[in-house]
């Protein structure tokens, strides 16, 4: 599609929004129910499409990491949207009483959603569900790297939603660029920090407010004394599920210097237990494309050339197409490319530290991450990390799970993003908070109008004290 065609769809959606008015809670709940039914009914088609786009991805991963969290989020939206829509009363100063102040949450109109390839179902449908809960019309642009999934989503949504309610624009980067330039009422983008900058710049031409869900290098801090087997098993799962192609995957591990080798051995055992057949295991996911595969191999080669000890776990012969084995990079340093960019693959650099203060300082010296993980049995160490670092969300003594908590906002800070969605925060993000003051018939407002009198002085004395 070109810019003119996309603009025509936006105009139709905006006209439909003006014609039909703001949907009530029953309509919003009905739309969410339709979306959930579609996901369950089309589950085999969706799982097959994702598997084909990735060359290989287990249906278990798609169901567990995309379908289940999205359905859980939709259920939470359905159960709470009527309550969130109610006007919220706000305080009124004594001099303006008995007037009443309240906030009305209204839909913005048309929300644009640009979704990524790594979780092409969940990161498309969760923003869609949230925008529908807030009463909006929605236009979606899935990634061109997962075309089969995009087509499956278009067929699924087109079966029950009209194009002036929900529309999917498929196509390559040129369609994405044109999409990001449309004068939406709000635009949410999930993807890399690099592309996020272009999206924000394009949206600024029309002063379109944006929510950016980006990435970065999310650390996992292993505190001294914490059980290494438990920590390594959790980090390995968070790092290796979807072959590390997860925006909140632990990007690198900070491990006490004396425990680096023990942690590495525990990590190897966990990786072999999860994927007994190595990189050909049916549960193990391929890398999305050859360029992404080549980029990951280049990161490993660069680290090896600069003195790192590289451990590849469970390599298979012949290897599966575009598949990178679980890989540890021991002795990682700042000069290595693997420590300079988000990895987005099954490669885990391990950085040694001496004291928890050093680990905190290491995190704080770098751009604020989308996620942070701390493994500790010491409450004081946990509190130190929580209060002295700034990141997106945090999971303590596990990985990834904060994403599945429907009542927690999801979003980054600084280079890892701006704004948040999921749950109530998502509803607010895609709504306009309209402040309303209702004046009472009997009020003191006239005292502050000319001609001014002694009573005016008395009221001003009260206001200025």
Name the catalytic one among 61, 66, 165, 247.
247
Active site residue 124: no
The DSSP result for 248-261, as a single string, is TS--EEEEEGGGHH
- Indicate the Cα dihedral angle 239, 242, 243, 245, nearest 10°: -80
DSSP state for residue 63 in the 8-state scheme: I
Active site residue 174: no
Give the residue among 333, 408, 328 at the shortest CA–CA distance from 371.
408
- Indicate the Cα dihedral angle 17, 411, 70, 238, nearest 10°: 160
Rounded distance, CA 438 to CA 101, Å?
6
Relative to beta strand 219-222, strand 210-213 is: unpaired
Sign of the CA dihedral 174, 180, 184, 189? positive
The DSSP result for 283-343, as a single string, is TSPPPS-HHHHHHHHHHHHHHHHTTPEEEE-S--SSPPTT----EEEET--TTSGGGTS--
Q: Where are the alpha helices (DSSP H) in 58-121?
A: 59-62, 68-85
Name the catalytic one among 61, 66, 165, 213.
213
Distance, first Cα to last Cα, the chain: 62
Contacts of 99 (CB under 8 A, 6+ apart): 92, 437, 438, 439, 440, 443
Residues tagged active-site: 213, 247
């Amino acid at each position: 599609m070109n810019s003119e065609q996309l603009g025509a769809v936006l105009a139709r959606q905006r006209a439909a929004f003006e014609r039909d008015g703001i949907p009530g809670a029953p309509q919003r709940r009905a739309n969410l129910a339709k979306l959930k039914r579609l996901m369950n009914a089309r589950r085999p088609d969706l799982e097959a499409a994702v598997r084909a786009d990735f060359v290989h991805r287990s249906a278990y991963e798609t169901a567990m990491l995309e379908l289940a969290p999205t359905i859980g989020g939709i259920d939470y939206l359905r159960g709470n949207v009527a309550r969130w829509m109610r006007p919220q009363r706000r305080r009124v100063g004594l001099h303006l009483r008995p007037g009443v102040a309240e906030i009305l949450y209204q839909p913005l109109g048309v929300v644009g959603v640009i979704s990524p390839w790594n979780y092409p179902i969940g990161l498309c449908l969760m923003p869609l569900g949230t925008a529908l809960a807030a009463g909006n019309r929605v236009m979606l642009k899935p990634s061109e790297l997962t075309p089969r999934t995009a087509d499956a989503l278009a067929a699924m949504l087109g079966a029950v939603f009209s194009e002036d309610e929900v529309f999917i624009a498929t196509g390559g980067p040129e369609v994405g660029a044109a999409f990001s330039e449309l004068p939406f009422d709000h635009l949410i983008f999930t993807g890399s920090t690099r592309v996020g900058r272009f999206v924000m710049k394009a949206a600024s031409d029309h002063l379109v407010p944006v929510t950016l869900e980006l990435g970065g290098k999310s650390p996992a801090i292993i505190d001294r004394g914490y059980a290494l087997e438990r920590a390594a098993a959790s980090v390995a799962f968070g790092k290796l599920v979807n072959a590390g192609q997860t925006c909140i995957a632990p990007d690198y591990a900070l491990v006490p210097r004396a425990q680096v080798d023990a942690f590495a051995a525990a990590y190897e055992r966990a990786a072999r237990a999860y994927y007994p057949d190595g990189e050909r295991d049916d549960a193990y996911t391929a890398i999305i494309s050859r360029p992404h595969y080549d980029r990951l191999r280049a990161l490993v080669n660069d680290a090896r050339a600069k003195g790192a000890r590289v451990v590849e776990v469970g390599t298979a012969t012949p290897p599966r197409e575009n598949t990178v084995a679980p890989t540890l990079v021991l002795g990682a340093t700042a000069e290595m490319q693997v420590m300079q960019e988000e990895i987005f693959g099954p490669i885990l650099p391990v950085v040694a530290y001496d004291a928890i203060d050093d680990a905190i300082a290491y995190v704080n010296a770098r751009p604020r991450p989308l996620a942070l993980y701390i493994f500790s049995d010491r409450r004081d160490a946990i509190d130190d990390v929580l209060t002295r670092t700034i990141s997106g969300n945090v999971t303590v003594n596990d990985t990834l799970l904060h994403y599945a908590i429907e009542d927690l906002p999801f979003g980054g800070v600084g280079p890892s993003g701006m704004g948040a969605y999921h749950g109530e925060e998502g509803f607010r993000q895609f709504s306009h908070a309209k402040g309303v003051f209702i004046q009472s018939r009997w009020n003191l407002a006239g005292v502050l109008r000319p001609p001014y009198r002694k009573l005016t002085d008395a009221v001003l004395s009260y206001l200025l004290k």
